[in-house]
Amino acid sequence: MTHATPTRSWWAAVFDLGPHAGAHWTALRASLAIFVPLVACLASGRDNLLLYAAIGAFTALYGRHERARVRLAMQAQAGVVLVVGVVVGALVATVPFRLWLLVPVAAAWAGVAVVLAELGRWHPAGALNPVFALTASATVPIPLSTVPAAALAAAGAAVFALLPALPGRPGCEGGPVRYRLSWRGLRPSDPVGRHAARYLLGIAAAGLAVATSGIGHPYWTFVTASVPMSAPDLHARLTRAAQRVMGTAAGLGVAALVLAAHPSSYAAIIVIAALQACTELTTGRNYSLGLVFFTPMALLLGDLMLPASIGTLLTQRALETVIGLTIALGATVITHERRTPTRAFSASSRCRSAASTLWLPPKRTRRRTLSKRRKSP
């Protein structure tokens, strides 16, 4: 007699450690992809373009477990989306009422980006990086004349990130090719449609919270709200939310030490590249561990663009993490798919049918038994 395996709680999954899975190759590519464009920006005297170059460099984060050809195509798709996000965000940044304009723009962008990510089977999944690209670019006010330079910096970094995409982990040669986008059969009631609705609701709510509160670094709220929604189901979303809180709390401690050293110019870029490598080495194993290094990297990069006191940066990061996660969990509960009575009835019917087959012999056997009884004297 077999017993059903008990379902693990989402809290137990918070502390799971995944395999290394060739993460050193991804870490090397990601570190190189962000280091060279940032150095190029500083060397050319355009330190105001550091943020956009860093966003374009996130192209290297995609397809870490794929074959070289699939990884290159996936990164090309993601790179285009990231650059478009930078352009749209930079245009929003030129408007005086940019925080209110960001509410509908970011919500619509998140819905489109998550559909593209789901159809292209991107990894990392979800619209986290595209949302970061648009909202972070919209945070820094710039004149309209700077938009072409921001687009060029992001595009150049994205193209450079494609260069080291070929070497690395070979991947599973027998796996399917997953780099073609297909819009056939897409319906709002499908899982992809529900996922997009979840992003629309969550990002719009995050935008309203940002616009009404006047938080100093509003894109953190958008990004934090995107994190749990990137997970595939409710169990995984709760796990990801808990990991976000724990990893951010530890990362703020590391950030305090990094920011206290006041690294600037090339020293700051070296630190950012090292933290990016550590992030990619650990994120695949446990998301909380990755945040220990990603949080100080993001704070250091943001401090280069919008300088602020250490206490202000850490307080705002903690506050916006709480706001973003609260909004994301609310959107998750509202859009969570529940079992309908029809499904429950059909499931119970199948159970009754299965139970009956355990007690009754097959129809042919019953007929033979009855015929033997009739023939017997």
- Are 240 and 228 contacting, i.e. CB atoms less than 8 angstroms apart? yes
Cis-peptide into 307, omega within 30 deg = no
DSSP string, 292-313: HHHHHHHHHHHHHHS---HHHH
> Could you give phi then psi for residue 124, rounded to 5 degrees?
-65, 145
- Are 136 and 56 contacting, i.e. CB atoms less than 8 angstroms apart? no
**Which pLDDT tens digit goes with each residue over 160-191?**
999 876 554 444 444 444 445 555 555 555 67
Pick the more confident residue, 1 or 226.
Answer: 226
Average pLDDT over residues 63-74: 86
Residue 181 CB partners (closer than 8 Å, separation 6+): 77, 116, 119, 120
What is the pLDDT of the chain when averaged over all its residues? Answer: 80
pTM of the model: 0.81
DSSP string, 56-103: HHGGGGS-TTS-HHHHHHHHHHHHHHHHHHHHHHHHHHTSTTHHHHHH
Rounded Cα gap, residues 241 and 223, in angstroms: 12
Say whether pLDDT at 198 is over 70: yes
Indicate the range of 4-8, 152-156, 189-193, 308-312 predicted with least confidence. Answer: 4-8
Which has the closest alpha carbon to 226: 90, 323, 98, 301? 323
**Which pLDDT tens digit goes with each residue over 308-340?**
888 888 988 888 888 888 888 887 777 665 543
Indicate the range of 28-42, 99-113, 225-239 predicted with least confidence. Answer: 225-239
- Are 164 and 60 contacting, i.e. CB atoms less than 8 angstroms apart? yes
* DSSP classification of residue 177: P
pLDDT tier, 355 (very low <50, low <70, confident <90, very high otherwise): very low
